[in-house]
Chain A
């Protein structure tokens, strides 16, 4: 029998205690991963970022149900976790694409002309920051400082920082990635 279900609408959760488990919607391996990670040290709110990172490394994003489960285990409210997730910009709040592009909008990159890189990715892939190509191949985000100012302006591709980049070298990089993906989401540009 399916033991836990989210509370029905129209019945305030605060009158019932925190008795529903978000993890029912999560794959059991992930539930075990989180459970194991939580049990490594006493549950405390200070551990939130570390746990989010663990899940993000595993899955490439932190699904809402995982946010709820981490909140429950650390004695936090779901919204406490959601605030941190949305503030940090990463971990992501949607499933990852095959190629994850994250353009740095930190101060160092901005001074080196990094804003142009945001435009280049936008034009070449036809995406706004935060969007994914319809075929799910590329995701495009802008992120707070990557902490790699020596390579500014920089882009992170699947977790690896590439830079310094010029608009031209970024276009070539996108083409390479697109060829490797064996599909052609990249539009030809007329310069």
Chain B
């Protein structure tokens, strides 16, 4: 990069050619006031508070935020003209700002207020007429107070450039300008809160976070959001141990202040009435509150008895556990209790990582980071639109496309608004992504044979390559919903791009086999030398597997029957270790229902309410001899358990989780748990102690994680290319039964969110989305009730006509709840056909 020399306040300074003045000045420690500037947005130059004086060839006041450096430039940053200009400008902005700072919600945390203190305003009034405006309470969640708007445009630009929604925009110009919605309708958007969090005054506020607690009395703690696996950093403002407000801190990677509706507003879950504070023990058929020692004794007694009787003990933890909790849970099972049956509950991404990524790439983590995503030339999104499931990834895609011109290809049936920004949207039939990924791989093997070099050494390469020949038939892609020309277009784009990232969003209930999709995606990534981001559904999918909470894998990712690793672990853990593989969830359910399980320990899992095929899960819980549940809430499964141990929620915990980008992130105790509730790890240590084993806590636990490789991420596993099975294309008929397309929701993902009253209130009513042509065929009109059945079970929904739905399919919300597609789903990824009937 060429260097240029310029003079700032009389001092010679070097900068990179093309750089803007503002970062150069800030690097030098010059204080430059800004109001409209936002690192996440394109330079704007709106507020004119960052003006500096140029005195070389083109003298005058220039905005530092949008003026590039030029050789020989002479800049004064604090001349009288600069100061006067800033004061006048601030006065014009203040003209329409209702000064009620003493009672304002943002007082003490207000950029505009800070600037008024710092810069001040001239005494005389400008010759302009002020336009008093009042507060508008008609929008959901967001309060709009145009009487305080300083027209910096950060809200409007974030909504457009980052969120890609443009739900709000400016109308009018000059003094009449207003932040408004289309036709002044009530705000209808993703409620990501970007606009509210970026507002430098108090023109946009979050209604749930209006609080009488002054900003200077709030303690601020940054932790990791636990709703999905993006690993966003969020800031809790705490007073008296309670969350007053949640925001995204702008300086923290990976999200840099960006949030979604869940990470912004979903925290009322922490104070839900279902929260437990005392252990429950079943006595004479009833769950009653007991003291902690008694509860620990009871659990240890049950597990000890099962071990004694040589009955099967199964431990299933959630992908929401921290890495430390997951590690101790599997160690309790494998070593203390001698049971190989440790596992993680159903969560999108588990099978993708273990059965798809590991055999092909040899690791159990994503191989691309958010930085890789930002630096890529092309992104291929397979399977689903991350707008609903992983909102941070969506904003990265939008920013790439809108701000940097980096294209992305969206190969997904469901589109949640991202298709508007995609260079190409391949509108796939449900479950078609596996076949399409292999079509692309097959075409690329031909189009760019040089790229196969890295793969050619892998065992199984030739038979794999031969097996892909079947995918070169254009009919395969066509039956997935992709025309030959479109496929060729995408192949050419990929072949021309140097740095590609493949993104695979995962969520329970998405149609199509997740493991196969991940395998096909990993093969494609491998062929291209591309990074692969597996977006797990729950926060710590990658971390719990790396910690060994999986029936087939030990900590670090070695196979559960790998003798050398078991020996090495035995010296660290000090005792015999049960050799795996243990039972997977299906086998656990089957065996438990057959009465073969002596003790079932569920940590943060609620099979009765939330596992797929709820009847089988209920049978498993009911027929296990003893059931122990650890959970912050009293769940449906908890109601059937013998012991329920209440634990702290994630925002109340300390530990680490591994995000969708494969990076570990810290959980900080943002809020104190009610009544000092323990974390899972503390409960596990107490129980192990009563069973005669000491498990590590604190620094010792960190050391143990390091020793077993559970913290270094995945230990490389053997890589082998397996021949691809013949193409399976979804059979969508013009006049037969409809194909069910389960669709994740943004506002409501099922388990934790169902305990947020705010999110539940914002989620849409139960709806069936159908193409108008299909609606006509079934005699359905918009808004009519419709019964959907797979022949056994039936859902009653409201029809919504929508031409973005693939013909021959119906889209039904999938969040695991009783009115969602979960009720109709069969085996994982199986394509379900349904009949529709107008309900009278």
Which positions in A face B, CB cutoff 8 Å? Answer: 1-5, 7-21, 64, 67-68, 75-80, 82-83, 86-87, 89
Min C-beta distance of A42 to chain B, whole Å = 12
Which positions in B face A, CB cutoff 8 Å? Answer: 160, 165-173, 181-183, 186, 188-190, 387-388, 414-417, 420-421, 745-747, 762-765, 767, 769, 772, 775-776, 781-783, 800-805, 813
Report the bound CA distance from A7 to B765 in whole Å. Answer: 12
Partner of B801, one of A5, A67, A77, A80: A5
Min C-beta distance of A24 to chain B, whole Å = 11
In the complex the two chains form, is A15's CB within 8 Å of B747's CB?
yes
In the complex the two chains form, is B800's CB within 8 Å of A83's CB?
no
In the complex the two chains form, is B776's CB within 8 Å of A87's CB?
no
In the bound complex, residues from chain B placing their C-beta under 8 Å from that of A1 are 776, 781
In the complex the two chains form, is B169's CB within 8 Å of A12's CB?
no
Of B166, B190, B415, B746, most A-chain CB atoms within 10 Å? B166
Report the bound CA distance from A89 to B414 in whole Å. Answer: 38
Min C-beta distance of B745 to chain A, whole Å = 6
12 residue pairs from A and B, CB less than 8 Å apart: A3-B776, A11-B800, A13-B188, A14-B165, A15-B746, A17-B804, A67-B182, A77-B169, A78-B183, A82-B171, A83-B169, A86-B171
In the bound complex, residues from chain B placing their C-beta under 8 Å from that of A77 are 160, 165-167, 169, 182, 420
Report the bound CA distance from A89 to B416 in whole Å. Answer: 33
In the complex the two chains form, is A15's CB within 8 Å of B745's CB?
yes
Given contacts A15-B764, A17-B802, contact A82 B169 (CB under 8 A): yes
Min C-beta distance of A107 to chain B, whole Å = 14
In the bound complex, residues from chain A placing their C-beta under 8 Å from that of B160 are 77, 80
In the bound complex, residues from chain A placing their C-beta under 8 Å from that of B772 are 3-4
Interface of B, secondary structure class, is: loop
In the complex the two chains form, is B764's CB within 8 Å of A11's CB?
yes
Report the bound CA distance from A16 to B801 in whole Å. Answer: 10
In the bound complex, residues from chain A placing their C-beta under 8 Å from that of B182 are 64, 67-68, 77-79, 82
Partner of B767, one of A2, A11, A76: A11
In the complex the two chains form, is A17's CB within 8 Å of B416's CB?
yes
In the complex the two chains form, is B805's CB within 8 Å of A19's CB?
yes
In the bound complex, residues from chain B placing their C-beta under 8 Å from that of A68 are 182
Report the bound CA distance from A19 to B813 in whole Å. Answer: 16
Min C-beta distance of A159 to chain B, whole Å = 22
In the complex the two chains form, is A87's CB within 8 Å of B746's CB?
no
Partner of B417, one of A10, A14, A83: A14
Interface contacts beyond A12-B747, A15-B746, A16-B800: sample of 9 additional A-B pairs, CB < 8 Å, sorted by A: A3-B772, A5-B782, A8-B783, A9-B186, A14-B189, A14-B746, A19-B803, A82-B182, A87-B173
Report the bound CA distance from A88 to B813 in whole Å. Answer: 41
In the complex the two chains form, is B769's CB within 8 Å of A16's CB?
yes
Min C-beta distance of A94 to chain B, whole Å = 12
Min C-beta distance of A102 to chain B, whole Å = 16
In the complex the two chains form, is A79's CB within 8 Å of B417's CB?
no
In the complex the two chains form, is B767's CB within 8 Å of A83's CB?
no
Report the bound CA distance from A80 to B156 in whole Å. Answer: 10
Report the bound CA distance from A75 to B783 in whole Å. Answer: 26
In the bound complex, residues from chain A placing their C-beta under 8 Å from that of B387 are 14
Report the bound CA distance from A78 to B764 in whole Å. Answer: 21
Report the bound CA distance from A87 to B763 in whole Å. Answer: 34
Nearest to A21 among chain B residues (CB) is B803
In the complex the two chains form, is A7's CB within 8 Å of B800's CB?
yes
Report the bound CA distance from A89 to B172 in whole Å. Answer: 8
Given contacts A11-B767, A79-B167, A80-B169, contact A5 B783 (CB under 8 A): yes
In the complex the two chains form, is A79's CB within 8 Å of B166's CB?
yes
In the complex the two chains form, is B802's CB within 8 Å of A79's CB?
no
Interface pairs A-B: 7 shortest CB-CB: A19-B802, A77-B166, A17-B804, A79-B169, A3-B772, A83-B169, A86-B171
In the bound complex, residues from chain B placing their C-beta under 8 Å from that of A5 are 782-783, 801
Report the bound CA distance from A80 to B169 in whole Å. Answer: 7
Min C-beta distance of B172 to chain A, whole Å = 5
In the complex the two chains form, is A12's CB within 8 Å of B802's CB?
no
Nearest to B748 among chain A residues (CB) is A15
In the complex the two chains form, is A86's CB within 8 Å of B172's CB?
yes
Report the bound CA distance from A79 to B185 in whole Å. Answer: 11
Report the bound CA distance from A20 to B804 in whole Å. Answer: 9
In the complex the two chains form, is A19's CB within 8 Å of B165's CB?
no
Report the bound CA distance from A16 to B788 in whole Å. Answer: 18
In the bound complex, residues from chain A placing their C-beta under 8 Å from that of B801 are 3-5, 19-20
Min C-beta distance of B191 to chain A, whole Å = 8
Nearest to A82 among chain B residues (CB) is B182
Given contacts A17-B802, A19-B769, contact A75 B188 (CB under 8 A): no
In the complex the two chains form, is B775's CB within 8 Å of A3's CB?
yes
Min C-beta distance of A44 to chain B, whole Å = 12
Report the bound CA distance from A53 to B66 in whole Å. Answer: 31
Nearest to B803 among chain A residues (CB) is A19
Report the bound CA distance from A19 to B419 in whole Å. Answer: 12
In the bound complex, residues from chain A placing their C-beta under 8 Å from that of B169 are 77, 79-80, 82-83
Report the bound CA distance from A83 to B153 in whole Å. Answer: 12
In the bound complex, residues from chain B placing their C-beta under 8 Å from that of A20 are 801-802
In the bound complex, residues from chain A placing their C-beta under 8 Å from that of B745 are 15
Nearest to B166 among chain A residues (CB) is A77
In the bound complex, residues from chain A placing their C-beta under 8 Å from that of B172 are 86-87
Report the bound CA distance from A64 to B185 in whole Å. Answer: 12
Given contacts A1-B781, A17-B769, A77-B165, contact A83 B762 (CB under 8 A): no
In the bound complex, residues from chain A placing their C-beta under 8 Å from that of B747 are 12, 15
In the bound complex, residues from chain B placing their C-beta under 8 Å from that of A79 are 166-169, 181-182
In the complex the two chains form, is A19's CB within 8 Å of B782's CB?
no
Report the bound CA distance from A143 to B55 in whole Å. Answer: 36
In the complex the two chains form, is A12's CB within 8 Å of B764's CB?
yes
Min C-beta distance of A58 to chain B, whole Å = 21
Report the bound CA distance from A35 to B170 in whole Å. Answer: 27
In the complex the two chains form, is A10's CB within 8 Å of B769's CB?
no
Min C-beta distance of B808 to chain A, whole Å = 16
Min C-beta distance of B403 to chain A, whole Å = 14
In the bound complex, residues from chain B placing their C-beta under 8 Å from that of A8 are 783, 800
In the complex the two chains form, is A64's CB within 8 Å of B183's CB?
yes
Nearest to A84 among chain B residues (CB) is B169
